[in-house]
Structure 1
């Protein structure tokens, strides 16, 4: 189960009590497309998606504000399907999404740095990878602030919900780079 905290955030498993915040995020037309999924505002569909996350607390977890307890986003440390499967126990892919009212406040950078700490120091990973679509400048800024190294562009790798085929920009951070950044 993924669980850690940062100065302002608690990253914890999703709960059904997070439904209202999750529904708001899922239905926002400016959130999902940046991560490759269609916005959804149908309460029953969103409830099923949330239920799946609640049942798998080691895959996708909630980003919550410590002061309010409100879920404001989501993150996961996944097996990277772009990498050799034999490396699945050494490499994780960081994915995240933040609801629009919380953009521009440093929350995602804070959560991503916490996820790196968790991946390297708790899980013992050797590498963390991350990808973003070319049009997602906000995610690129988070990635750069965290100190990831740009590896290249994977052309035409993802078919989005609307049929558009997209490139992905690929970044990584290995253990030595993480230790240098954190002076360990």
Structure 2
């Protein structure tokens, strides 16, 4: 488990399926992040047992409520959607629409970054966002990620379409320097 001021990030549980469905069935969430809307609670349960079953994928919950409202995770090395080294990871995240604009994803990602660099001792973190998802870009920038490159006409098998994806990165040393500025 990971925690921040307002959040607890914990492993997904089967009992999270109704909450996952509630937020993942909203067409404003998944398609922007590159995955289709969930059709029913059973599909959400299957996603929990397959996609979210990785050890570094967490349900984002409010500290006081414990209900899953989003996801943050690390896709390390070959599990990433990018060609990265085994000691690097892709950061993935999303949050339900009622929680947009509250700074919860940057807060969750910063806790995940602390874990990635200190506990897992990763060398760099990568993050992507599709051209039509400026909210994701802003969340990455708040966390210190810097633009690295753009991939045009990248095939997305989950949505069966082609997209432009902008890729950002932060290395361990960059992150450490940012930590110093955040605490001064």
- TM-score in same-fold range (> 0.5): yes
Question: RMSD across aligned C-alpha pairs, in angstroms?
Answer: 1.7
The question of 1:136 aligning with 2:133 is answered yes
Residues 54-133 of structure 1 mapped to structure 2, 5 A cutoff: 56-79=53-76, 80-84=80-84, 87-88=85-86, 90-133=87-130
Which residue number in structure 1 is paired with residue 46 of structure 2? 48
The question of 1:167 aligning with 2:164 is answered yes
* Contact 1:14–1:53, Cα closer than 8 Å, also in 2: no
Instruction: Give 3-state SS (helix, strand or coil) of 1:183's partner.
Output: helix
Instruction: Give 3-state SS (helix, strand or coil) of 1:97's partner.
Output: strand
Shift of 1:43: 2.4
Q: Assess, with a 3 A threshold, how the Cα gap between structure 1 residues 59 and 115 changes in structure 2: closer, same or farther.
A: closer
Q: Assess, with a 3 A threshold, how the Cα gap between structure 1 residues 94 and 126 changes in structure 2: closer, same or farther.
A: same
| Whole-Å separation in 2 of the counterparts to 1:130 and 1:52 | 21
Q: 1:28 aligns with which of 26, 30, 52?
A: 26
* Contact 1:31–1:99, Cα closer than 8 Å, also in 2: yes
Instruction: Give 3-state SS (helix, strand or coil) of 1:24's partner.
Output: helix
Instruction: Give 3-state SS (helix, strand or coil) of 1:92's partner.
Output: strand
Shift of 1:160: 5.3
> Please, what TM-score do these two structures have when normalized by structure 2?
0.90
The question of 1:179 aligning with 2:166 is answered no
> Please, what TM-score do these two structures have when normalized by structure 1?
0.90
Query: Which 4+ runs in 1 deviate beyond 6 A?
Result: none
Q: Mind listing any 5+ residue stretches in structure 2 that lack a counterpart?
A: none
Q: Mind listing any 5+ residue stretches in structure 1 that lack a counterpart?
A: none
The alignment of Structure 1 onto Structure 2 pairs a total of residues equal to 178
Instruction: Give 3-state SS (helix, strand or coil) of 1:38's partner.
Output: coil
